[in-house]
Amino acid sequence: MSNKNIKVKDLGKKTDRVYNLDVKELPKLPYPYEDWEDPEVPPVKDIKAEGKDLSLDGILNVVVPIPESEEKKEELVAKFLEGVRKLLTVENNWTFLKPFMLSMENCVKCNTCSEACPVYEMSGGAEIYRPLFRSDVLRRIIKKYISPGGKLTAPFTGSNIDLNWETVARLAQLAYRCNLCRRCAQTCPMGVDNGLIAREIRKLFSQEMGIAPAELHTDGTIKQLTTGSSTGVSPVALMDLFEFMEEDITDRTGLNIKVPFDKSGADILLIHNAGEFLSWPENIEAFAIIFELAGVSWTLSSEMVGYDSVNYGLFYDDAQYAKVTLKHAEVAKKLGVKKVVMGECGHAHKAVMAIGDRIWLGESNIPRESCLATLEDLVMNEKIMVDPERNDFPITLHDPCNVVRSMGVVEPQRRILRKIAPKFREMTPHGVHNYCCGGGSGFAIMQSNNFPNWRFLLPGRKKFIQILNAFEKEEYEPGVNKYVCAPCSNCKGQIRDLLEYYDAWEKAGLLYGGLVELIVNCMTDVREGFVEWEFH
Amino acid sequence: MEVIQYVTIASVLIAFLAIIVKVIKYATAPESMRWELYPVPHEKGRSEYGGSYFEELDWWTKPRHSDMFNEMKEMASEIIFLKGVLHNNKRVWRFSFPFHFGLYLCIGWLFLLLLGGIMDAVGVGVSADAGVFGLVVHYLTVISGYAGLILTGIGAFGLFVWRVTDSNQRPYNSFAEYFNLLFIDAVVVLALITHLGSDPGFAYLRGYVAAILSFEPAVIPGTLFGIEVVLMSLLIMYIPLSRMSHFVAKYFLYHAVRWHDEPNVRGSKIEKRLTELLGKKISWSAEHMHPGKTWGEAVQEKENEQ
């Protein structure tokens, strides 16, 4: 089957593979990567592929077990259809019924969305990655198998699709080939949201069939709700980590800082993405330094879930999302803080501030704020003193989709950077028209099998091109260190992996980090050199 | 009255009913989670770059300034010029713009025919020789009618050709997509032939409307005119029943989803509606969903390790 001639109805075809990712079809990278050749995507090892369907594109991130008998196949299809029906009811899906119904019923099939999608663009126009393709699969299934008389009117409504277990399994996989960045929705003249439709598909698989990537569900929300954090860091381990971080602050800066925990009545409850504790403790340390030196009344929580802002439910499951965010609300209420400030984590911002706006009800409706607004106040109103010359290196800014496109927090981070970074420059495009890092919707934490290759080669490639183009040719001379500022934990994880995949620290002098690290790096009350030019 | 007059009356009534049903369906859909998308044009001083009130320190303590003028401006440029299509899909805009603009003119034309029909029915003449008001209505009817029909026809034909010839587009078209455009073109062509040939000032058409308004038998000057009236009536009925009525949905997609950034505050109507919805019983089957419990109960359940 040719990659570009795949039709929606082909999703149900009996074939080993609907689409093959061919690295030769990918667009070339700019300077200094013109000669870069991507290795082929490694196939999933047989032992792992055993009993798991990989027939969409050979990429594995969500496991759909191959039904063992005809009866099981029919059961799978029936259960799927039952889930689709539930998506269309108020009782089961009041949470997103309105936008879902509007998007499902009103696409005019103009394909404007395709041009906006980095996955589609970077794949060289692979049909299965068209935003409309995925939505149309579900649309046709609803029209043909759910709507009254659907089979009869199918030729007129274009619902030529066969619903078999292959279609179901491949649709599950297709839902996890979208970053939910919503760039497609932004360009849709109707306002139809293919990102939302992808999320609704994920949701029906999770809420009805119990199918979701392990990283999001068992090792994500379930682990977070049972151990305290999606990283598995328990409240006890948390204290050990902070002991280390306080020592590290002293080593790096000469400052003695005691991080406040569980301080009742503090002005601010700061919640970090717990991924930072393990991968980027300097980010946590930088927040502590800024808040302490600015004299902010703040605290962290050591209560289960209260110290981890991660909420992977946002990406695949309404109930799991609500369970986590309600835990955050409960912790804030118990501490009696004036407001909750979200650390540098994009999806946590959206989970708690935008979506959470409809979940934190009554007494639990504690005000929530972006750390970018908090930090802007401290930097711009000179509650901390800075010397921008300390940041005299080329810096570009990545915009996390959840903070920017979905919440409209665009300028605070820019006003800070314009003040503290003389060589700050934008990517093209940026702000609300940015491109996703490629790790959005949980992809950044999916490290197993061959999925990372997919996210580097397709959505990540667009971001990498943007990063490369943000700097001048002469800035790629050896010895010129450049900084990609990504004020979001998941984006940072994806950019770290991307730079590693392309060997970009060695080859192009590209390092990445958060915003607070840059602030501390230029604070006059802090010893110079907080940003360490070492790749990690 | 003639049979075709009943067809027209039924078509118009069904069309209105269909639009009302659609509006009610979307307007009464339950309060959903927030899912806005920036830029939001009523964000005063911020909409140009896509900013929101979330950018402010302690945003909940500050008055929200909505720029309704900018929102209206944005809506007007979207409705009249199809700004979104122009910016993001110029190929489609070349035909979509004349098509939609032509349809707006046709709607204006139908209202002018209705106005003219009322004037006819009450004995006020509408023609090039009538008084000032009748003369204005006459010329506006002629201009909007022909301009609307021609632009709609060209646009529909262009969109049809694009749907047929664009290989990216073709696999996603259903028979309905082609049929809708061809139906419109057929009505437009028939109307142009009929009126340019025997009713250039739309006098018979106005008379037809006046006859319906006064429950009198209409004068049908020829078979072609009769077919035109029947097809046009059916088209008026068909549009709200098909996906061509996306104008209703677009209002809700923009105002109730994309630009809906109203924060929920304690004791608000939003909070009341959400509290009620938390009482809905879940029937999702996965174990972690706790089927049989309400949303409010299920999300408070202690998680089991799986």
The Cα–Cα gap between B149 and B146 comes to 5
Count of C-beta atoms within a 10 Å radius of residue A157: 19
The pLDDT confidence band at residue B1, using thresholds 50, 70 and 90, is confident
Question: Concatenated DSSP letters for A114-131?
Answer: HHH-HHHHHTTS-GGGSH
Looking at residue A158, its pLDDT comes to 83
pLDDT at B184: 97
Tens-place pLDDT, residues B104-156: 999 999 999 999 999 988 888 898 888 899 999 999 999 999 999 999 999 99
Q: Report the run of H or E that residue A16 belongs to, with start and end.
A: none
CA distance B254 to B259: 6
Q: Distance (Å, rounded) from C-alpha A135 to C-alpha A103?
A: 9
pLDDT band, very low/low/confident/very high, at A47 (cuts 50, 70, 90): low
pLDDT tens readout for residues B256-269: 999 999 999 999 99
Give the rounded percent of residues in chain B with a pLDDT score beyond 70: 99
In chain A, % of residues over pLDDT 90? 93
| Residues on chain B touching A92 (C-beta within 8 angstroms) | 280, 282-284
Tell me what the mean pLDDT of segment A304-325 comes to.
97
Arithmetic mean of pLDDT, A325-332: 97
Please, which residues 261-320 of chain A have a Cβ atom closer than 8 Å to chain B?
A: 317-320
- C-alpha distance from A486 to closest chain B C-alpha (Å): 17
CA-based nearest residue to A11, from A165, A193, A179: A165
Residue type, A368: R
Q: Which residues of B touch A103 (CB under 8 A)?
A: 253
Residue A136 contacts B, CB cutoff 8 Å: yes
Q: For chain A, what is the mean pLDDT?
A: 96
Q: State chain B's mean pLDDT as an integer.
A: 95
A269: left (phi over 0), alpha (psi -120 to 50) or beta: beta
What residue spans define the domains of chain B?
90-244
Please tell me the distance in Å from B75's CA to the nearest CA on chain A.
12
For residue A280, the distance in angstroms to the closest alpha carbon of chain B comes to 25
Confidence of residue A474 (pLDDT cuts 50, 70, 90): very high
Does residue A4 have a pLDDT over 80?
no
CA dihedral A229, A232, A236, A239 (to 10 degrees): -70
Token match 């004995």: residue?
A: B123
CA distance B242 to B245: 6
Tell me if ipTM is over 0.90.
yes
Q: Examine the pLDDT at A19 and tell me if it is beyond 70.
A: yes
Q: Is the peptide bond before A281 cis (omega within 30 degrees of 0)?
A: no
What is d(CA B155, CA B168) in angstroms, rounded to the nearest whole number? 20
Taking Cα atoms as reference points, which of A321, A252, A315 lies closest to residue A289?
Answer: A252
Alpha-carbon dihedral sign for residues A304, A307, A309, A310: negative
Give the one of A156, A209, A433 whose C-beta lies nearest to B176's C-beta: A156
**Closest in B37, B59, B280 to A369, CB measured:** B59
Name the token pair of A279: 């991968």
- Answer whether A115 sits within 8 Å of B88, measured CB to CB: yes
Give residues with Cβ within 8 angstroms of A223, minimum separation 6. A229, A230, A232
Those of residues 79-98 in B touching chain A at CB distance below 8 A are 82, 84-85, 87-89, 92, 96
Residue A156 has pLDDT above 90, yes or no: no
pLDDT of residue A242 exceeding 60: yes
Confidence of residue A3 (pLDDT cuts 50, 70, 90): low
The arithmetic mean of pLDDT across residues A87-108, rounded, is 97
pLDDT for A256-272, tens place per residue? 999 999 999 999 999 99
Neighbours of A289 (CB within 10 A): 24
State yes or no: pLDDT of B304 exceeds 70.
no
Contacts of residue B20, Cβ cutoff 8 Å, sequence gap at least 6: none
Q: Which two tokens stand for residue A314?
A: 């946002």
User: What's the pLDDT at B125?
Assistant: 87
Across the range A99-108, mean pLDDT stands at 96
Please, are residues A98 and B30 in contact by the beta-carbon 8 Å criterion?
A: yes
Class of domain A227-376: alpha beta
pLDDT score for A155:
85
Contacts of A203 (CB under 8 A, 6+ apart): A87, A96, A316, A317, A318
Provide the pLDDT confidence category of residue A422 given band limits of 50, 70 and 90.
very high
Q: What pLDDT is recorded for position A368?
A: 98
Q: Does B211 touch chain A (CB under 8 A)?
A: no
Q: How confident is the model at residue A313 (pLDDT cuts 50, 70, 90)?
A: very high
d(CA A303, CA B238): 60
Within 10 angstroms of residue B92's Cβ, the number of other Cβ atoms is: 24
**Which pTM was predicted?**
0.96
Percent of chain A exceeding pLDDT 70 equals: 99
Q: Which amino acid is at A26?
A: L
Whether A96 sits inside 8 A of B26 (CB atoms) is no
Give A48's pLDDT tier (boundaries 50, 70, 90): low
pLDDT at B57 over 80: yes
* The pLDDT of residue A1: 58
Whether residue B301 is predicted with pLDDT greater than 90 in this model: the reply is: no
Q: pLDDT value at position A159?
A: 86
Residue A285 has pLDDT above 60, yes or no: yes
Q: Which of A266, A279, A333 is nearest to A445 (CA)?
A: A279
Selecting from A111, A210, A358 the residue whose C-beta is nearest the C-beta of B34 gives: A358
pLDDT band at B2; cut points 50, 70, 90 = confident
A21-33 as b/e: b if 16+ CB within 10 A? beeeeeeebeeeb
